[in-house]
Amino acid sequence: MQDVQSSKDYRNIDIDKVGVKGILYPITVLDKNMGEQHTVAEINMYVQLPKYYKGTHMSRFVEILNQHSKRISIQNFSEILEEMKQRLDAESAHMEIKFPYFIKKMAPVSGAPAFMEYRCIFTGTLTKKMDLVVQIDVPVMTLCPCSKEISEYGAHNQRARVRLNVRFKRFVWIEDLISLIETKASSEVYSVLKREDEKYVTEYAYNRPMFVEDVVRDIALELNNDSNIIWFSVECESFESIHNHNAYAYIERDKRTQGFSI
């Protein structure tokens, strides 16, 4: 049969990314406590298409994915991208894997167990070198220092979302990044809280008032001291309970840049 995709194209234009997008696929990722965790990911896979090819071979993306579906992790990401480059005769390959990751958390007083969901994205690009970014969204709680200071009792508080992106030298556990973030907010959030837990969380947050500025600065300080992290961005968006807007703060730092400082 004629291979139309490999036929000549005469417009003389390279395509930066071409491939398949929005594949829902069962995957297995590494779990620090349980060894492995099964989840469902949304996957985008692209390669660079040289100007002399009419099209890419879309079916090969899914074939490659199927070969690696038993375990997709930070550790074998470059292997998948290298296979994409070779099988599709491309100079660069790019893949994004978005998935929910679950950790069983115990309520702080009652110990009631329940799973918490965290949204994760692995984004990798392979040209001559590998570039991998891990992104994690972590729900937390913030309590306003200003509200606490000016009020005779109480202070407004709300759920917030911290989004962390990191580049690193060696393997990092999702759980460790989540733990880092949760310890830098006014309080963690939980799926299940009994009355004694609600009392504890409310009082704990009241004793740890945080602006979004405080949250991102404290996380940035921790990452700056971690020699394994070479680049990071951290943002905190607080879904304000008494305002018709959200509060937001963002820090990005490249520790590979000479003269880096927080």
Q: Is residue 169 part of a domain?
A: yes
The pLDDT score that the predictor gives to residue 51 is: 81
**131/78 Cα distance (integer angstroms):** 9
Q: Is residue 72 part of a domain?
A: yes
The pLDDT score that the predictor gives to residue 257 is: 85
**177/254 Cα distance (integer angstroms):** 18
Name the band, by pLDDT with cuts 50, 70 and 90, for residue 150. Answer: very high
Q: Is residue 7 part of a domain?
A: no
- For 214, list phi and psi in degrees, rounded to 5: -65, -40
The pLDDT score that the predictor gives to residue 56 is: 79
- Whichever domain contains 34, its CATH number is 3.10.270.10
pLDDT one-digit tens code per residue, 18-59: 999 999 999 888 899 988 899 999 999 999 988 887 777 888
Parallel, antiparallel, or unpaired: how do β-strands 247-254 and 130-143 relate? unpaired
Amino acid letter, 2: Q
Which of 130, 107, 253 has its CA nearest to residue 190? 107
Q: Is residue 260 part of a domain?
A: no
The pLDDT score that the predictor gives to residue 262 is: 56
Residue 238's domain spans which residues? 15-254
Q: Is the pLDDT reported for residue 179 higher than 60?
A: yes
Q: Is residue 189 part of a domain?
A: yes
Average pLDDT over every residue of 193-198:
97
| The total number of structural domains that make up the chain | 1
pLDDT one-digit tens code per residue, 77-126: 889 999 999 999 899 999 999 999 999 999 999 999 999 999 999 999 99
Q: Is residue 4 part of a domain?
A: no
Q: Is residue 261 part of a domain?
A: no
What's the whole-model pTM score? 0.90
Q: Is residue 141 part of a domain?
A: yes
**50/28 Cα distance (integer angstroms):** 33
